[in-house]
Every structure is written in structure tokens, then in C-alpha cells.
Amino acid sequence: MFLAIKQQCKSYFWRLAERRSPRAEAVVLRHRSIYVLPSKAGLGYMLAGLLVWLLGTNYQNNLILAASFLLFALFVVSVLHAFGNLSGLQLRALKAEPGFVGETLEFPVELISSRSVFHLLLQPVRGPVLRCDLGRDQANVVKIPLAAQRRGWLKPDRLLLKSYFPLGITRVWSWVYLEGKVLVYPEPRPAQFAPQYGADSSGDQGDRVRADDDFMGFVRYQPGASLAQVAWKLYARGAGLHLKQFGAQQRQSQWLDYHALLGDVETRLSGLCFLALEWHAAEIDYGLILPGTRLEPAGGDQHLQRVLSELALFNPAEVGREV
């Protein structure tokens, strides 16, 4: 019974907080979204002030009564300064760089205020406490860490801003909901080829080598390349796996085929992500084949970002039986 009432009160508070400060790209803290209460030290301070007042009343000592009034006056002034420390503070979500599953990504937030802000603490729901101070009309960028646990769009949760300025006896805080998102790519991991799409056969989709092609040198072995192109003599000398590169293969193109890999959806996407990064590093043109999606072979950073974005946003529910 008690837990149910506690849960209802918590749900009501979060609905109220989100209604007072709705999700937006830029948020300005006003009186509706700022809360002030005594801190733990403040409760002890008020108890001490009350005891001093009772002592002065009991002994009818004006000096002790004046000391108690001074303590309460300091508390009231502290509340006003604590509220003013956060009032008018503006937060704006900036563009975040994408990353891979398993990494800790950074969500940049710009803070600016028309007045100086002291001892400001920022804390995500699940994350460390970040400390910063702001000068008057001075912008400061704070990077909020986000744990990327699954691919797709990652939206930051509510952000807690709090401060114990100026005396530590008051706690002022606000909950902020910033409208922003970070794209998370699949975790790059090697995957196994299906028997009908062996590594030897998948490499034949590029340009074939003719007898009159000029030999251009060796390149590092890439998963999916034809075994006929492997420099076996170099491998026998202990130099590792390398591929013989000929003139017709300088811009070899291959395909990242979803159906050529084994495993579930996430395993295949991770394998395609791994191959895309490997082929991009080797400057091999490659295309992408996903159920319902086909990208023609190309190269360059822009093509890599497009391929990784397709892998990150692939939704098997939209293609149904093709997966």
C-alpha cells in the first residue's frame, strides 16, 4: 500500500515537472521550473536558529533573540540568492557526434546566462555529476555522457541541475528535458558468411583480374576477398595475409549483403558494420544490400556515414518476411 502511494506521488511529480518545463531544444529556467528547499545542512541550521530563539525567549535576552533573528534573516537572503543563481539560465542542445554500441557517447549542452552562475552541478539520471561555473554572458559547453546500449536514435533522459550556493544551507534545483538525439551505429564485430556466400565467392563481385593487368603491389587482406588473390608466398614467409593488387583492381567494388551473413539481425548488422569500416580503410568501393534497401557501390567518408546510418536505423519489422 505504501509503495503504491509512493509510486503514484512520484509519477504525479514527474508529470508536473515535465508540464512546467516541456521538452525543447532550448530551455530557459524560470520561477515555474525552479525549486528551492533547505538542504540537510540547512535543516540543522534552522534547528539551531530555533533553539537560539527558544533560549532567548526563555531567558528574555534581547541579544540572544537578535542573534536568532539574524540567523533566520541570513536563511531568507540565502534563498533569494540561490533562486537568482539559476534564474535566467539558458540551456541549448547541440549536435552530437554518432558512435557505436558499447561506447560512451557525448551529448553537448551549451549553457549561457546574463549573470554569473556559481557552483552549478549537472547530473543525468544515470551518470556522474558534472561541475561548472559561468561568467556573465559567457557560454560554456558541457558534454553529458550517454551509454550507447542499442543501435538507433538515443535520446537523453531528463537532466538535473542543482546548486548549494551561496552558503550550502539551501538546495535549488530544476529538471530539464532537452530535445536532442544521438545516432548509434551497430557494434562492429566479425560475422560468418553463409555457405552459399563463401568468402571466396563474395570477392568475385568486384573487377576480375586479367592476365595482362599490371601488378600494382600488395594490400592487407580484407574479409570477403577472393582466395585466388591471396599472396600465399608472402604468407609462407610469415608476413601475414595480403592480397595481390592489379591495375584493374585499384577501385574494386564489393557488396555488403545482409543475406550473405549468418546469425540473427543484430549479428548480421554488426558484421556488415565491421566490413564497411574495413573496406573503407582499404579504399575499396562497396555497396549495401539490406531487405528493402540498396545503395550502389561508392567510396569516401560521406558514403560510409550513409551506410552506417542505414545499418543503425534498419527496422526488421518494416520488411517482414525478407529478414
Measured distance CA(146)–CA(156) in Å, rounded: 7
Give me the percent of the chain exceeding a pLDDT of 90.
Answer: 42
Query: In the prediction, which pLDDT does 262 show?
Result: 87
Query: In the prediction, which pLDDT does 237 show?
Result: 62
Sign of the alpha-carbon dihedral angle for 237, 242, 243, 247: negative
pLDDT in tens, 150-170: 999 998 888 999 999 989 999
Q: Is residue 82 predicted with pLDDT exceeding 50?
A: yes
Q: Which residues of 207-216 are buried (b: 16+ CB within 10 A; e: fewer)?
A: bebeeeeeee
pLDDT in tens, 213-239: 455 555 666 665 556 566 666 566 666
User: Which grid coordinates are listed for 192?
Assistant: 560468418
Query: In the prediction, which pLDDT does 272 show?
Result: 93
Q: Which residues contact 296 (CB under 8 A, 6 or more apart)?
A: 287
Contact 139, 173 (CB under 8 A): no
Query: Residue 10's pLDDT band (boundaries 50, 70, 90)?
Result: confident
**Pick from 254, 322, 260, 257: nearest CA to 292:** 322
Q: Is residue 106 predicted with pLDDT exceeding 80?
A: yes
Query: In the prediction, which pLDDT does 226 show?
Result: 58
Query: In the prediction, which pLDDT does 53 show?
Result: 93
Which range is least confidently modeled, 13-22, 29-38, 212-221? Answer: 212-221
The segment with the largest mean pLDDT, out of 15-29, 81-95, 246-260, is 81-95
Ordered DSSP codes for 190-202: --PBPGGG-HHHH
Which range is least confidently modeled, 89-93, 269-273, 319-323? Answer: 319-323
Mean pLDDT value across the chain: 82
Q: Which residues contact 223 (CB under 8 A, 6 or more apart)?
A: 190, 199, 274, 275, 278
pLDDT in tens, 250-282: 445 688 888 888 888 999 999 999 999 988 888
Q: Is residue 146 predicted with pLDDT exceeding 50?
A: yes
Contact 185, 101 (CB under 8 A): yes
